[in-house]
C-alpha cells in the first residue's frame, strides 16, 4: 500500500505540469475565441479590439466595432431576429409544410439590423446587444445588460432593458 501511494504521488507530480499545459491550451479556445454565426465578412473590428469569447450573429446585418473596445466573457452581439406575423413566426408555414427547419428570408431578414459599437468602449460579461443599435464612444455596458436602443457617447448603461445609469466622464 505504501509503495502504491508513493507511485501515485510521483505520477501526480510528474503529470501535473503536463496536464496544466494541456488544460490551459484547451481553455484558450473556450475563453479567448469569438464565434461568428453567419458571414464573418460582415464583422469589422478596429485596432486592438479584445473580443474574448463573444458571439457575433450577423444573420440580419453587419457589426462594426471601433478601436480599443473590449468585451468581457460571454457577450452576445446579435443582429439576427425573427419576424412574427399574425401572432406566429412569419415562416412557420414553410417549416410545417416542407423539410425546412427555419422560415428563410420571410422570417429572418438578411439586412437592416446593423450594430455599431464606438471607440474605447467596454462591454462587460454577459451583456447582450440586439440588432439595429448604435453604441457611442467610451461607453460602459454593465454585466448582464440587454441593449435594445442607441446609447450616446460616454454613457454607462445597465439593466434589462439597458438604461443610462451614469457617465464615464465622472470617473477620476
Cα separation, 124 vs 85, in Å, equals 34
Cα separation, 164 vs 166, in Å, equals 6
What are the C-alpha distances in Å from 170 to residues 56, 130, 156, 165?
31, 27, 10, 12
Cα separation, 128 vs 148, in Å, equals 9
Is residue 116 annotated as a catalytic residue, yes or no?
A: no
Q: DSSP letter for 157, please.
A: E
Catalogue the active-site residues: 82
Amino acid at each position: 500500500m505504501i509503495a502504491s501511494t508513493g507511485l501515485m504521488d510521483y505520477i501526480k507530480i510528474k503529470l501535473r505540469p503536463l496536464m496544466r499545459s494541456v488544460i490551459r491550451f484547451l481553455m484558450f479556445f473556450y475563453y479567448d475565441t469569438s464565434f461568428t454565426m453567419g458571414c464573418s465578412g460582415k464583422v469589422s473590428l478596429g485596432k486592438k479590439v479584445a473580443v474574448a469569447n463573444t458571439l457575433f450573429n450577423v444573420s440580419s446585418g453587419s457589426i462594426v466595432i471601433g478601436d480599443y473596445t473590449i468585451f468581457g466573457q460571454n457577450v452576445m452581439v446579435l443582429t439576427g431576429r425573427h419576424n412574427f406575423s399574425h401572432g406566429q413566426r412569419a415562416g412557420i408555414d414553410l417549416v410545417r409544410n416542407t423539410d425546412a427547419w427555419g422560415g428563410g428570408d420571410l422570417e429572418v431578414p438578411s439586412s437592416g439590423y446593423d450594430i455599431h459599437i464606438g471607440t474605447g468602449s467596454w462591454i462587460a460579461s454577459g451583456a447582450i446587444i440586439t440588432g439595429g443599435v448604435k453604441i457611442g464612444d467610451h461607453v460602459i455596458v454593465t454585466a448582464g445588460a440587454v441593449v435594445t436602443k442607441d446609447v450616446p457617447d460616454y454613457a454607462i448603461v445597465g439593466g434589462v432593458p439597458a438604461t443610462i445609469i451614469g457617465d464615464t466622464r465622472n470617473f477620476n
